[in-house]
Structure 1
Amino acid sequence: MGDVMKPQRDNAALISGKRQGYVPLGDAARLAKGRLHEVTGDGTNAFALSIAAQIKGAVVWIKSFRSGEQLCPQGLSRLCDPARFIFIRTVNRLESLWAAEQALRMPGAPCVVVELQNGPDLKESRRLQIAAEATGALCLGLITGAINSSAAHTRWQCESVCDAEYQALWRLTKAKDGQRGQWRVKLPNRLGGDYAARLVSVVSQSAA
């Protein structure tokens, strides 16, 4: 691997994030609340669960019936308390986007996850962004297909890795607040009811 990608100072985020706050990821990485964040790669679910575990309150998870895969409560319990989740199954993409926008506007839904085959376009992402800003909720768009030009605050490429110590590699590919870098991530097992406020125990800078 090449040179280490050092995160830059995110002065813009320090200003804009005062009202909404952040979800800390460790080692200078963080996600702004009240924003839309896009996630790609085969590690999207682990990333979303890691973030959800650090936010108090209900987690609304939206996906289409056309997606054959479903999250298993027993599997969720490794990373996050499954009792906090509200699962919504939709008919199509438009319904998923509508459900996400409505959920983001509810005060009782501080974290909304929406699974999409293709990423939201500029108009769709702006609607999600406005809804998230209204309540300070954090919106995660998990994308399995094409990425579109959007108003997302950040975009992450998340991959699972075969390593004895680290289980994931998270790379920040877009950030409006100036953050840059990629991190090797260690996800501890939270089985047995130990749902700590800070799930990601180790997030270290990785070589590019």
Structure 2
Amino acid sequence: MKPPHALLHAPERSRAEIVDGLRRLLPKLENPSAGNCAFSFGLATLDAHLPQGGLAGGALHEVLPEGEGDLPAAFGFAAALLGRIPSKEPVLFIISPRGLAAYGHPHGHGLDELGLTPARLILVETENEVQALWALEEALRSGVPAAVAGAIGQELDLKTSRRLHLAAGNSGLPLILLRAAAEMGSSAAATRWRVGAAKAARDRFGLPAHWRWRLRLERCRNGRLGEWLVEWDHVAYRFNLAAPMADRAFPRGTSAERFGPKAADRS
């Protein structure tokens, strides 16, 4: 192997090849999820809003509650996403003390109905937020799980979110991060999903049949924003639209003033 200083005296052709290689690398640095596999929601109308036709691997995806009491709904949606990942490898879920503290611990039967078999789930509880963020990054670097997920309560600064997004990009694994705080600052996430609890569908006996969520895609890099009312089929383990008019997609070029600065944040 040539020493580093030998590159300074490389022939012009070799320099051109190096420059060409760097140019090919730039898109991956700007968008680490490019070229990684995506997994489908099973809903064409929703998948069509995502640049890879599904939720991209190798990227950070944020899930936030619509309001203060919607964190359990947001957790359910995140668990359903993890359950749809087409892999037999385990899923690692890291929870900080402030992530789900007010709502207890995940329940095995409920997780199973969301498609996330408890036998496939590795649940890690940390002593503080710093440990949780460290564990998320190390889990991604290992490349072992099918996916990495986390529930944290603290504010996540742009620098930290970039580190997590890059770690996901380098590993090719999806990182689904459940944020307890309803308000958000700047983030490097590829997508941001806002989730609210909706009235459940009823069976012929009037009993709850399917969970329903108000779902808003309020950030989507290189994709389109949108709103849906979705329900979860716990038998088929898939999402369905809860009503024919549930898809209220934001048209391309929609002004930030109409829907607010957060809804227009795509970068």
TM-score by length of structure 2 reads 0.64
Counterpart amino acid of residue 74 in structure 1: H
Does residue 61 (structure 1) correspond to residue 93 (structure 2)? The answer is yes
Measure the CA separation in 1 of the matches of 2:76 and 2:149. 12
The higher relative CO (CA closer than 8 Å, separation ≥ 6) is in: 1
Moved more, 37-46 or 24-33: 24-33
- Of 40, 64, 74, the residue aligned with 1:40 is 64
TM-score by length of structure 1 reads 0.81
- Of 85, 102, 109, the residue aligned with 2:121 is 85
Larger Rg: 2
Determine the structure 2 residue equivalent to 1:131.
167
Does residue 52 (structure 1) correspond to residue 90 (structure 2)? The answer is no
Instruction: Report the count of equivalent residues.
Output: 188
Which is helix-richer, 1 or 2?
Answer: 2
Partner of 2:194, secondary structure, is strand
Determine the structure 1 residue equivalent to 2:254.
none
Determine the structure 2 residue equivalent to 1:185.
230
Cα RMSD of the aligned pairs, angstroms, is: 2.3
CA contact (8 A) 1:110 1:136 kept: no
Partner of 1:51, secondary structure, is helix
CA contact (8 A) 2:162 2:188 kept: yes
Measure the CA separation in 1 of the matches of 2:96 and 2:198. 27
Q: Assess, with a 3 A threshold, how the Cα gap between structure 1 residues 111 and 161 changes in structure 2: closer, same or farther.
A: same
Determine the structure 1 residue equivalent to 2:192.
155
Partner of 2:233, secondary structure, is coil
Q: Assess, with a 3 A threshold, how the Cα gap between structure 1 residues 40 and 202 changes in structure 2: closer, same or farther.
A: same
Q: Deviations over 1:129-162 (max 9, x none)?
A: 1110111110111111142211111111011100
CA contact (8 A) 2:64 2:179 kept: yes
> Where does the alignment leave 5 or more consecutive residues of structure 2 unmatched?
1-26, 202-209, 250-267
Q: Deviations over 1:12-36 (max 9, x none)?
A: 9xx9866212121222243111000
Determine the structure 2 residue equivalent to 1:168.
213
Measure the CA separation in 2 of the matches of 1:96 and 1:58. 18
Determine the structure 1 residue equivalent to 2:106.
71
> Where does the alignment leave 5 or more consecutive residues of structure 1 unmatched?
1-11, 191-195
Counterpart amino acid of residue 177 in structure 1: N
- Of 6, 24, 45, the residue aligned with 2:40 is 24
Identity of aligned residues (%): 32
